[in-house]
Amino acid sequence: MKYFILVLLSTILTGAAHAHPDHAETGMQHEAAAMAAAAADFLVTLDEDQRSSVLFDLSDTEAREGWSNLPTTMAPRSGLQIATLNDTQRIALHRLLARGLSSEGYGDAMHIMTLETYLRAGVEAAIAERGEDLSDEDRERATSRMEANDPENYWVRIFGDPASGTWSLVLDGHHLAVTATVVEGRIAFTPVFLGNNPQTIQTGTYAGRRSLQHELDRVADLMASLETEQMDELVQSDDTRDSARFAGPDWVPDMEAAPVGLSAADLNAEQQIMLTYAIREFIGTATMAAADAQMARIEADGLDNIMLAWWGDYTDLSRRFMLRITGPSLHIDFTRTGREDRPNHFHIVIRDPSNEYGSDWLRTHYEEAHAEE
C-alpha cells in the first residue's frame, strides 16, 4: 500500500504531461501565444532607438548566448537596460516576464534582482569603513562595483519576431539569466541561471527572508535518505568545485565523458520520488506546460540515464557543496558557495543538452522552411 501511495504521489507531482502527454503540448501553445502577445505589447511601448537596442536577429547566437552570472563591471551586457525604461514600459516588460516564467520563476527572479540592494549597501559600508585608507584606484573600482549592484541593472533582448511564432527572449544580469525560445508553439526554457547573495538575509526588516530555499530543502531531504553504500557512489570529493565557471554558457561539461556518481536507478522508490520532487523544483522556473513537457522528456530518458554526483561536505548542507544531476535531457549544477566561514550564497545552472536554446526544434524548423523553397 505504501508503494502504491508513493507511485500515486509521483504521478500527481509529475503533472499532466505524465498522464496525458499531449496536454503539455496544448498548454504550451496557449502559453506561447500569451507570451507573443505580451512581447508585442512591450515592443509597442518602445521608441525607435529602444526597439533597435532590444531586437536581435534570431540567428545571432553570440548575443543569445551572451548571458552571464557576473556583475556588469566584469561582463558588460547588450540589449535594453531596465533602468532606462519609463513606468509604462516597465509594466509591459513585467507582464512579458510574468507570462514567460512560472509564478515561482517570476518570484525568484524579482527577489534575486532585489538582493542587489543588499550587495550595494555592503560595498558602500566597506568604502565608508576604509575611509582615507582606501587608495583612489581602489575607491574608483569599489564605487563602480557599488553602482553596478542595482536592481535595475538587468538587460532584456528579444530575438526574431514574436508574431512569427518562432523567437527568443533573454533577460540577464548579476546572478540571474532566464531564457525562453519559442518554436511553433513549443517553449524551451534553458539555459537558466539562478543565484543569490545573501541566500538568507541576516539583519534588518527583512531578516530571515530567503531565496531558492525550496531547492535546498528538496536536496536535503534526498541526501538525508541515502544509505552508506549509496553515498559511496554519490560523493566524488570532499572539496567543492570552483563555481566561477558557472559564469556563462561556456561552463557546460563534456557530455561525451563517462558519467560519474550514483545512478537514479539505484535509488529506492521513495528516494526516486524525492529526486522527482527536486527536479521539479529546479525546472519550476518555466511555465507550467513547458515544465511538464520537460519532465516528460526526463522521465522518457529512463532512470538508468540519470546520474547524481556530489562534491563537498554531505553531512552539513550549511557548508560549501555542489550537487550535479545529469541526463540526456537535463543538466543541473547546484552549489553553495561564498566565504568558507559564511557560505550564504547559491549558484544554480539548469541546462538541456538535447535542446539547448531550443536548438533541436530550431534545426527542424529551418530544415522544413528550406524544404519548402
Give per-residue pLDDT as tens, 62-88.
Answer: 999 999 999 999 999 999 999 999 999
Give per-residue pLDDT as tens, 178-193.
Answer: 999 999 999 999 999 9
The reported pLDDT for the residue numbered 252 is 65
- Cell readout for 283 is 525546472
170 in helix, strand or coil?
A: strand
Has residue 360 got a pLDDT over 90?
Answer: yes
Distance CA 293, CA 27 (A): 9
The reported pLDDT for the residue numbered 20 is 58
Has residue 152 got a pLDDT over 70?
Answer: yes
The reported pLDDT for the residue numbered 372 is 58
* Average pLDDT rounded to a whole number, residues 27-38: 96
* Average pLDDT rounded to a whole number, residues 308-328: 93
The reported pLDDT for the residue numbered 3 is 41
210 in helix, strand or coil?
A: strand
Has residue 124 got a pLDDT over 60?
Answer: yes
CA distances from residue 126 to 17, 73, 135 in whole angstroms, order as listed: 50, 18, 13
The reported pLDDT for the residue numbered 244 is 59
Contact 130, 55 (CB under 8 A): no
- First-residue to last-residue Cα distance in the chain: 59
- Cell readout for 159 is 530575438
Distance CA 195, CA 184 (A): 31
Give 19's pLDDT tier (boundaries 50, 70, 90).
Answer: very low
The reported pLDDT for the residue numbered 254 is 64
Has residue 7 got a pLDDT over 60?
Answer: no
Has residue 128 got a pLDDT over 50?
Answer: yes
**What values do phi and psi take at 102, rounded to 5?**
-75, 175
- 8-state DSSP, 259: P
Distance CA 55, CA 46 (A): 11
Q: Supply the mean pLDDT for the chain.
A: 89
- 8-state DSSP, 237: E
Q: Give the Cβ contact number of residue 360 at 10 Å.
A: 14
pLDDT, greater one: 58 or 368: 58
The reported pLDDT for the residue numbered 6 is 47
pTM of the model: 0.91
Give per-residue pLDDT as tens, 242-292.
Answer: 665 677 777 766 656 677 899 999 999 999 999 999 999 999 999 999 999
Across the chain, the runs of DSSP E, i.e. the strands, are: 55-56, 80-81, 155-159, 166-173, 176-183, 186-188, 192-196, 235-237, 262-263, 307-312, 321-327, 330-339, 342-351
The reported pLDDT for the residue numbered 373 is 55
- Cell readout for 133 is 585608507
> Per-domain residue ranges for the chain?
2-371
Amino acid at 85: L
- Cell readout for 285 is 522556473
